[in-house]
Amino acid sequence: MLANSPLPTDVAEAVVKSDLSPEIITYILKNQEGVNEIEQLQNQIVGLQSARQVNYDHLMRATFNADTTATFVETYNYVMDFMETQTDYHAKSRLVDMYIKKGMFENALTILGEMEQIASTSENIGALNDIELTEIKIDILQNLNTESIQDVVKRYEDFLTEMAADYNTKEGGVARAILESAGLMENFPIVFLPNPEAEVSTKSARISEPEQETVLNTELKSLFKLYPNPANDYLSIEFINPKGACSFNIYSIKGELVKTISSNQQLGFLSIDISDLQPGNYIINCPELDSKVTFVIVR
């Protein structure tokens, strides 16, 4: 054992002469050779957690894409019931998306409260900001019939303005989109030029301790969310198109084009007045994102 041990001779002899069992001695020497079983187990756990999150995302994407007919409601509820049994943070976040899509705002706020406790315990500033932004979007959706978007957003203007000043995070982009949708902020293009020596600000609406330098990531991923569904007088769209602007075409179930809304932004949060449309099934199509979703108007 000593001849093949990477430990210094005096240390190896001390280990062998100790009262440790042969199994523990073997374990120590194995770790010194680079085989750390605990670390390997931790890596496996992290890998499983990542795989589970990916599966959640695939399940949500498939569910939202298939939610195009009234007959799908039972399957949607089945998936939602399953997600309610999951306890990890990522699953809770996806469940919030499902609740919002169906206009179940009180349920969404309850889960967001649980997520906030988890994020506060781990001092996850980014997660706390994202939770508050989601709560703001819910407040907008809950009050569309009684208040203008601008009046609702003004209640959070200080927080949103502080967040919008950070161009290095997704949360900053969402904050700017909300302010723009309420007419409280003018959009202007920001061009990021790679500069490996530049320092990236960690400024956040929530004051946190100084952190290590953040790596700048300007890559956007496509996004198309529509809620609530069923809808009443207003329909909200959250979108990201990395390639440019977006247009949204609403068709009746017979294929008749009844409304078109365009945005010259890469990302945004739109509220569409559909009070002039009759109750029934409709399809909203975004050619730029190659996505379409069926929604229902009920009154």
Where are the domains positioned within the chain? Answer: 123-218, 220-299
- Residue bearing tokens 């068709």: 251
Q: What is the pTM of this model?
A: 0.53
* Average pLDDT of the chain to the nearest whole number: 75
Q: What is the pLDDT of residues 181-232, one digit of tens each?
A: 788 876 544 444 444 454 544 445 454 444 444 443 445 677 888 877 788 8
- Grouping H, G, I as helix, E, B as strand and the rest as coil, residue 246 is strand
Q: What is the pLDDT of residues 12-27, one digit of tens each?
A: 555 555 555 666 656 6
Q: Measured at the alpha carbon of residue 111, what is the angle toward residues 110 and 114, in degrees to the nearest 5?
A: 95
CATH 2.60.40.1930 is the classification of domain 220-299 = yes
**Residue pair 201/190 in contact by the 8 Å Cβ criterion:** no
> Would you call the peptide bond into 230 cis, given omega within 30 degrees of 0 as the criterion?
yes
pLDDT in the model for residue 190: 44
Torsion over CA: 37, 40, 46, 49 (sign): negative
Q: What is the pLDDT of residues 85-133, one digit of tens each?
A: 888 888 898 899 889 888 899 999 999 999 999 999 888 898 999 999 9
Q: What is the pLDDT of residues 132-175, one digit of tens each?
A: 999 999 998 888 788 888 899 999 999 999 988 887 777 888 88
